[in-house]
Copies of this chain bind each other. A is one copy, B any other.
Amino acid sequence: MVRWEPGARERLQAAALELFATRGFEQTTAAEIAQSVGLTERTFFRHFSDKREVLFYGQDLFLQAFLDGVDDAPADASPLEVVTAALRSGAALFPDERRPYSRTRQAVIDSNPALQERELHKLAGLVTAVTETLRTRGLDETAATLAAETGGTVFRIAFAQWIREGERRSLTEITSAVLRELLTLTGAATGAADERR
């Protein structure tokens, strides 16, 4: 009979991140993670297929949060408005309480090329999914790809800023600031493009 440990997944996740951050990802085994919170290796593998997966648990929810934003955008929303809705919905997954976790997780990922690649793959999957959803809204391929890729760029820049030491603004606020910067860049926000002609 398999016993279900209440809260085991969360305890394993917290312990894994702590060990990855202090000892290093490669130097930490699944058995050590389990032992550190009084659980067995077998319990670990009931929750995660391997130690890497601890860092990518919830990936479906991550993707879905952005896609929900796309779905909720009005039918007549412009591509950028749809992307903005996706980014707002995605940012809600990262409340300020989560910032220390996200910061440590990123440090672990930055320390390991295979984890970096997996993270890039995750973000590329998000961009592809948003591109496809924009296509179903009638955008042509170039417009859909450009909008989704630009959204990905805004998310990466905003997220990197959000986890900086000393940063106090929420991810939602930072995302809005980066989106405003995007409009400034293309001359849409300030009329700078007109002034320059």
Q: A178-B142, A188-B187 are in contact. Are A193 and B78 (CB under 8 A)?
A: yes
Q: How far is the CB of A197 from chain B (nearest CB, A)?
A: 11
Is A117 in the interface zone, CB < 8 Å from B? Answer: yes
B residues near A188, Cβ cutoff 8 Å: 183, 186-188, 193
Is A14 in the interface zone, CB < 8 Å from B? Answer: no
Q: Which of B146, B156, B178 contacts A157 (CB 8 A)?
A: B146
Is A150 in the interface zone, CB < 8 Å from B? Answer: yes
* B149 engages A153 (CB within 8 Å): yes
B residues near A183, Cβ cutoff 8 Å: 186-188
B residues near A184, Cβ cutoff 8 Å: 143
Q: How far is the CB of A35 from chain B (nearest CB, A)?
A: 35
Chain B, Cβ-Cβ closest to A77: B196
Is A8 in the interface zone, CB < 8 Å from B? Answer: no
Q: Which A102-151 residues have a C-beta within 8 angstroms of B?
A: 117, 120, 142-143, 145-147, 149-150
* B79 engages A185 (CB within 8 Å): yes
Chain B, Cβ-Cβ closest to A187: B188
CA distance A147 to B183 in the complex (A): 11
* B185 engages A146 (CB within 8 Å): yes
* B153 engages A185 (CB within 8 Å): no
Q: How far is the CB of A146 from chain B (nearest CB, A)?
A: 6
Q: How far is the CB of A109 from chain B (nearest CB, A)?
A: 16
Q: Which of B150, B187, B192 contacts A185 (CB 8 A)?
A: B150
Is A181 in the interface zone, CB < 8 Å from B? Answer: yes
Q: How far is the CB of A157 from chain B (nearest CB, A)?
A: 6
Q: Give A residues with C-beta under 8 Å from B.
A: 78-81, 117, 120, 142-143, 145-147, 149-150, 153-154, 156-157, 161, 177-178, 181-188, 192-193, 196
